């Protein structure tokens, strides 16, 4: 028994050695699925940004801060706060801020294209913040050939000024209520109110930049909340479809080695050695199994790094891998048992596997809005069940949730394997 | 002392539906001898060999290799034999050494023993300097030698060689024939199939002639030649095809057989000195001219012609 197992393993190792020298196998196993998934991934991620969005060029801003706080503001400077807000590290990807000594040099920087935008903060900005009856205007001096950058700066400044508008409204309400109660509004009260409001505004801006919206709850449909990174989620589904398609393809292509051995007469010669026929066939299938297993392991590992795909819980991923490898090996063997020669095998690859892949939903793996009938048809194919198992794993399903699809895959694989093995035995006897 | 039988074939049959590829074939091969199965293509030689090597299951009869039945104990049979198929059966993507190592493992060889045997076989077939070369880059002769080498890996008691010299150059052919003689000298029993009469004649202790799946003659070269007795074999070439001249020659006194295949005419006659003038006369009467003539001593070709009425050509 041990001798037979070892002989089967030797046959599998020989086959793996032969496969490793085939450029076609390498291309089909690893290059093609990664290439297709990569192309789709980058197509969906705009200009190739890893952040998943449109890349905005950094706008160069010259700030001339002319703000002169009065003693009434108690050291608080709205102009300085605006400069610090724009110089925040979180905005470094949008604006590059330099402080100019005066208004003329800031404007000159724009005129000489050394800067895209000049921001002139008026001398009475802080005063206007504290005084209910005063107004101040910030000047945005921009290069007319640049469009997006000034818009970004304008939006940021407006956002900032809106906060102070709210502060002034709050100050007005406070002053009116104190006045109604017969209390005078002194500088200390004004200063405290503005300072507290400014602090609140600053913390609000920071929390927004961190993606936290106190007045909003961002939610996804039930069961799909796990995929926080939508691009990685999309890439995961696409690659799952490609991985399954090419795993079936690899299994069929390598199961074809039985036909090849028959044609190059080595199979007949093997049958004249003291190695039993069942051991020889087992060795051939072991080779297919090991190759597909290696392919799936490499693809999942590489895609985790390249596309940041989280394939799911380790046990669930392992179950999905086992189910896929079992069913691909079974189907590869089953198909090849009916193929008469290598030429016919090409038609099987091109035809049967592609049709089954389409019916199984492998090419629409990322589309969640498919008609129910399509999903039903998909479950008539091993491809559809394999995709279901991998999607569940991607969605973070635990081992219990994986049991049904994986069990179906294992049963399908076993039935196809037995059917193929019997056909081969009858054919080779 | 009576010689032991290495191969004992009894009423062997192999049918494919209505086609009787091998019909009731029986013969013995003694230990230490070279035995040739001689016959044209399609005679059933390869099918017989494939059945004896347990590649095909017989549909009738049985055979025993070193006392083991091919029906009841095929594993024991396979452990006794080495098989060299007619066509090269190698892995083209592997090197010569990788091929030998793999096939050695299939015969149960492992570790240092395997490495040593692979080295020996590479030496025997003269491929030590090419052991790391991929087989698909080898010449036809090198592939043939490696093909034979695989059959030697297990140091078989009986070596089956199925037409190992088909389609190769004369130098490689000579090398293979010398190797076969050397293997036999070292004590290996050899069952050799061929359609080259001269190979069977040179190599064999015993020869069996097959045609249409049947064994039609069996014996030593001398015993077989006696079948045709003192008949001479004449090969003739004429300037035009003529059914009439064939009819006239068949009716000529002293002519036993006339065969016309592939443009060549072969006749078995009593005494060529007496019969030849009659053949010329018949040719003149039929309006054809004899352009070439060759007279040979009785040989296996003549035996085949005598037994089947056809020449042993292809």
The string of pLDDT tens digits covering residues B78-110 is: 999 999 999 999 999 999 999 999 999 999 999
**pLDDT given at position A344:** 85
**Taking CB atoms and an 8 Å limit, are B108 and A265 in contact across chains?**
no
Structural domain contains residue A81: yes
Secondary structure, 3-state, chain B: CCCCEEEEEEEEEEEECCEEEEEEEEEEEECCCEEEEECCCCCCHHHHHHHHCCCCCCCEEEEEECCEECCCCHHHHHHHEEEECCCCCCCCCCEHHHHHHHHHHHCCCCHHHHHHHHHHHHHHCCCHHHCCCEHHHCCHHHHHHHHHHHHHCCCCCEEEEECCCCCCCHHHHHHHHHHHHHHHHCCCEEEEEECCHHHHHHHCCEEEEEECCEEEEEECHHHHHHHHCCCEEEEEEECCCCHHHHHHHHCCCCEEEEEEECCEEEEEECCHHHHHHHHHHHHHHHCCCEEEEEEECCCHHHHHHHHHCCCCCC
Q: Is B104 exposed, middle or buried (0-12, 13-18, 19+ CB in 10 A)?
A: buried
Q: State the best of B106, B109, B134 to mutate against chain A, taking most chain A CBs within 10 Å.
A: B106
Size of interface A-B (CB pairs under 8 A): 60
pLDDT of A56 reads 65
User: Burial code of A375-388, b = ≥16 C-beta within 10 A, e = fewer?
Assistant: eebbbebbbbbbbb
Place of tokens 């050494």: B97
On whether both A269 and A186 belong to a single domain, the answer is: no
Answer yes or no: do B87 and A265 touch at CB < 8 A.
yes
Q: Minimal Cα–Cα distance from B156 to chain A, Å? A: 11
- Report the candidate in A309, A232, A210 with the shortest Cα–Cα distance to residue A45: A232
Vertex A303 angle, CA A302 and A305, to 5°: 70
Contact B106 A18 (CB under 8 A): no
- β-pairing, B255-261 vs B264-269, is antiparallel
Residue A221 and residue A231: Cα distance in Å, rounded? 17
Q: What angle do CA A292, A294, A296 make, to 5 degrees?
A: 70
Distance from CA of A269 to the nearest CA of B (A): 7
Whether A204 is covered by a domain: the verdict is yes
What is the rounded average pLDDT of the residues B55-79?
95
Instruction: Flag if B89 and A273 touch (Cβ within 8 Å).
Output: no
| C-beta separation of B178 from B209 below 8 A | no
Q: Residue holding tokens 């070892």?
A: A6
> Tokens 């003192």, residue?
B230
As a whole number of angstroms, the distance between CA B125 and CA A285 comes to: 33
Q: State how far residue A340 is from chain B, nearest Cα, in angstroms.
A: 18
**CA-to-CA distance for A74 and A98, rounded, in angstroms?**
26
Q: Are A65 and A79 in contact (CB under 8 A)?
A: yes
Residues with Cβ within 8 Å of residue B297, at least 6 apart in sequence: B232, B233
pLDDT at position B30 over 70:
yes
Domain end residue (candidates: A145, A179, A209): A209
| Domain-embedded: residue A157 | yes
In a domain, A139, yes or no: yes
- Identify whether residues A197 and A233 lie together within a single domain: no
**Number of separate domains in chain A:** 2
Do A112 and A85 share a structural domain?
Answer: yes
Structural domain including A71 reads 59-209
Q: Least CB-CB distance to B55: which of A17, A21, A271?
A: A271
CB B303 within 8 A of CB B231: no
Q: Is the pLDDT of residue B40 over 60?
A: yes
Mark yes or no for CB contact A429/B88 under 8 Å: no
This complex has an ipTM of 0.84
Query: Domain check: are A305 and A237 in the same one?
Result: yes
Please tell me the distance in Å from A251's CA to the nearest CA on chain B: 20
Distance of alpha carbon A387 from alpha carbon A362, whole angstroms: 7
Is A233 in contact with A44 (CB distance < 8 Å)?
no
| Cβ pair A272:B78 closer than 8 A | yes
Contact A269 B150 (CB under 8 A): yes
Cα separation, A421 vs A415, whole angstroms: 10
Mean of per-residue pLDDT scores for chain B = 91
Whether B217 shows a pLDDT value over 70: the answer reads: yes
Q: Do B93 and A14 touch (CB under 8 A)?
A: no
Nearest to A273 among B78, B85, B92 (CB): B78
Q: Kindly state whether A276 is in contact with chain B, defined as any CB-CB distance less than 8 angstroms.
A: yes
Return the residue in A14, A270, A272 with the most chain B beta carbons within 10 A, the one to mutate for interface testing: A272
Inform me whether the pLDDT recorded for B312 exceeds 80: no
Helix (H) or strand (E) holding A142: strand A139-142
Are A137 and A262 found together in one domain? Answer: no
Residue A219 inside a domain? The answer is no
Least CA distance to A279: which residue of chain B? B106
d(CA B302, CA B227): 9
B89 contacts A268? CB cut-off 8 A: yes
Looking at residue B37, what is its pLDDT? 95
- Share above pLDDT 90 across residues of chain B, in percent, rounded to a whole number: 62
Partner-chain residue, chosen from B57, B98, B106, that has the shortest CB–CB distance to A7: B106
Please check whether residue A198 lies inside any domain of the structure.
Answer: yes
User: How far apart, in whole angstroms, are the C-alpha atoms of residue A34 and residue A229?
Assistant: 20
Residues A334 and A417 sit within 8 Å (Cβ to Cβ): yes
The answer to whether position A119 is within a domain reads yes
Q: For every one of its 429 residues, what pLDDT tens digit does chain A have, with 9 covering 90 and above?
A: 788 889 999 999 999 999 999 888 888 888 888 888 778 777 766 544 444 445 567 888 999 999 888 776 767 788 888 888 888 877 777 888 899 988 999 999 888 888 888 989 998 888 887 777 778 888 888 887 777 778 888 888 887 787 777 777 777 777 778 778 777 767 677 667 766 776 776 676 666 655 565 555 555 454 444 444 566 777 788 888 889 999 998 898 888 888 999 999 999 999 999 999 889 988 998 999 999 999 999 999 988 888 888 899 999 999 999 999 999 999 998 988 888 888 888 777 778 888 999 999 888 877 777 778 888 899 999 999 999 999 999 989 999 999 999 999 999 999 999 998 888 877 776
A203 and A76 in a common domain: yes
Residue A53 lies in a domain: no
Q: Could you read off the pLDDT of B254-299 as tens digits, one per residue? A: 898 888 877 778 888 888 888 989 999 999 998 888 888 988 877 8
Contact B107 A274 (CB under 8 A): yes
Last residue of a domain, one of A181, A209, A237: A209
* Cβ <8 Å between A17 and B90: no
pLDDT, residue A208, reads 61
Structure token pair of residue B173: 């052919």
Whether residues A129 and A152 fall in one domain: yes
Can you give the CATH number for the domain in which A76 is found?
3.40.1710
Q: pLDDT value at position A223? A: 45
Q: What is the C-alpha to C-alpha distance for residues B100 and A181, in angstroms, rounded to an integer? A: 107
Supply the angle between the helices A399-428 and A382-394 in degrees, to the nearest 10. Answer: 150
Contact B105 A7 (CB under 8 A): yes
Answer yes or no: do A159 and A292 share one domain: no
Say if the Cβ atoms of A265 and B75 lie within 8 Å: no
Specify the pLDDT at position B166.
86
Radius of gyration (C-alpha) of chain B in whole angstroms: 22
Q: Is A7 on the interface with B (CB under 8 A)?
A: yes
> Per CB distance under 8 Å, which residues of B are interface residues toward A?
50, 53-55, 57, 75, 78-79, 81, 83, 85, 87-94, 98, 102-103, 105-108, 150
Q: Are residues A142 and A239 in the same domain?
A: no
Residue whose C-alpha is closest to residue A395's, from A299, A310, A302, A308: A310
User: What's the pLDDT at A263?
Assistant: 92
Same domain, residue pair A97 and A130? yes
DSSP A278-346: HHHHHHHHHHHHHHHHHHHHHHHHHHHHHS------HHHHHHHHHHHHHHHHHHHHHHHHH--SHHHHH
Considering the domain architecture, whether residues A108 and A188 belong to the same structural domain is answered as yes
What's the pLDDT at A340?
A: 85
Same domain assignment for residues A71 and A202: yes
Interface test with B, best of A6, A24, A254, A269 (most B CBs within 10 A): A269
State how far the Cα of B312 lies from the Cα of B216, in Å rounded to an integer.
Answer: 13
Note whether A272 contacts B81, CB cutoff 8 Å: yes
pLDDT at A217: 58
């Amino acid at each position: 028994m041990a001798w037979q197992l070892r002989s089967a393993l030797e046959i599998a190792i020989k086959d793996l050695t032969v496969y490793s020298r085939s450029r076609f196998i390498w291309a089909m196993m690893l290059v093609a699925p990664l290439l297709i998934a990569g192309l789709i991934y980058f197509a969906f991620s705009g200009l190739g940004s890893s952040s998943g969005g449109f890349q905005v060029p950094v706008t160069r801003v010259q700030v001339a801060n002319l703000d002169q706080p009065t003693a009434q503001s108690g050291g608080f400077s709205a102009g300085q706060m605006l400069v610090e807000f724009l110089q925040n590290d979180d905005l470094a990807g949008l604006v590059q801020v330099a402080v100019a000594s005066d208004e003329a040099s800031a404007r000159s920087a724009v005129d000489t294209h050394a800067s895209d935008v000049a921001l002139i903060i008026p001398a009475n900005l802080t005063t206007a913040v504290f005084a209910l009856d005063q107004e101040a205007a910030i000047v945005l001096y921009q290069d007319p050939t640049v469009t997006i950058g000034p818009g970004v700066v304008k939006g940021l400044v407006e956002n900032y000024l809106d906060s102070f508008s709210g502060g002034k409204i709050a100050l007005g309400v406070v002053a009116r209520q104190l006045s109604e109660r017969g209390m005078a509004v002194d500088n200390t009260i004004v200063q405290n109110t503005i300072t507290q409001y400014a602090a609140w505004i600053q913390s609000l801006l920071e929390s927004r930049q961190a993606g936290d919206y106190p007045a909003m709850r961002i939610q996804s449909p039930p069961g799909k909340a796990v995929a926080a990174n939508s691009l990685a989620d999309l890439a995961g589904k696409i690659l799952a479809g490609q991985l399954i398609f090419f795993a079936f393809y690899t299994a069929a292509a390598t199961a074809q080695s039985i036909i090849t051995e028959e044609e190059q007469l080595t199979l007949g010669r093997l049958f004249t050695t003291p190695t039993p026929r069942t051991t020889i066939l087992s060795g051939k299938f072991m080779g297919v199994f090991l190759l597909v297993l290696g392919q799936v392991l490499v693809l999942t590992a590489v895609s985790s790094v390249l596309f940041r795909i989280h394939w799911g819980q380790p046990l669930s991923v392992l179950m999905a891998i086992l189910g896929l490898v079992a069913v691909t090996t079974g189907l590869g063997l089953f198909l090849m048992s009916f193929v008469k020669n290598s030429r016919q095998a090409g038609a099987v690859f091109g035809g049967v596997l592609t049709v089954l892949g389409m019916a199984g939903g492998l090419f629409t793996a990322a589309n969640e809005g498919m008609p129910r009938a399509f999903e039903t048809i998909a479950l008539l194919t091993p491809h559809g069940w394999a995709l279901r198992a991998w999607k569940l794993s991607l969605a973070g399903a635990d081992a219990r949730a994986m049991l049904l699809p994986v069990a179906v895959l294992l049963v399908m694989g076993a039935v196809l394997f037995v059917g193929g093995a019997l056909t081969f035995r009858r054919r080779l006897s | 002392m009576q010689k032991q039988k290495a191969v004992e074939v009894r009423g062997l049959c192999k049918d494919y539906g209505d086609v009787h590829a091998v019909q009731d074939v029986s013969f013995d091969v003694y230990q230490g001898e070279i035995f040739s199965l001689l016959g044209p293509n399609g005679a059933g030689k390869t099918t017989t060999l494939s059945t004896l090597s347990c590649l095909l299951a017989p549909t009738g009869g049985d055979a025993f290799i070193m006392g083991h039945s091919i029906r009841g104990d095929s594993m024991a049979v396979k452990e006794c034999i080495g098989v060299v198929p007619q066509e090269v059966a190698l892995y083209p993507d592997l090197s010569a050494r990788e091929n030998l190592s793999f096939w050695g493992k299939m015969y149960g060889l492992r570790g240092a023993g395997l490495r040593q045997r692979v080295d020996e076989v590479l030496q025997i077939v003269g491929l030590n300097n090419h052991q790391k070369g991929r087989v698909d880059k080898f010449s036809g002769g090198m592939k043939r030698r490696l093909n034979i080498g695989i059959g030697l890996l297990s140091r078989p008691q009986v070596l089956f060689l199925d037409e190992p010299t088909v389609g190769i150059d004369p130098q490689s052919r000579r090398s293979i024939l010398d190797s076969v003689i050397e293997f036999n000298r070292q004590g290996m029993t050899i069952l050799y199939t061929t359609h080259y009469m001269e190979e069977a004649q040179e190599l064999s202790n015993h020869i069996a002639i097959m045609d249409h799946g049947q064994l039609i003659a069996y014996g030593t070269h001398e015993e077989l030649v006696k079948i045709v007795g003192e008949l001479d074999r004449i090969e003739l070439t004429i300037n035009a095809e003529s059914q009439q001249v064939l009819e006239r020659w068949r009716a000529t006194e002293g002519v036993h057989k006339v065969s016309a295949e592939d443009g060549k005419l072969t006749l078995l006659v009593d005494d060529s000195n007496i019969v030849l003038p009659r053949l010329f006369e018949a040719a003149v009467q039929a309006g054809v001219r004899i352009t070439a003539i060759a007279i040979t001593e009785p040989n296996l070709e003549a035996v085949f012609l005598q037994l089947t009425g056809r020449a042993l050509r292809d």
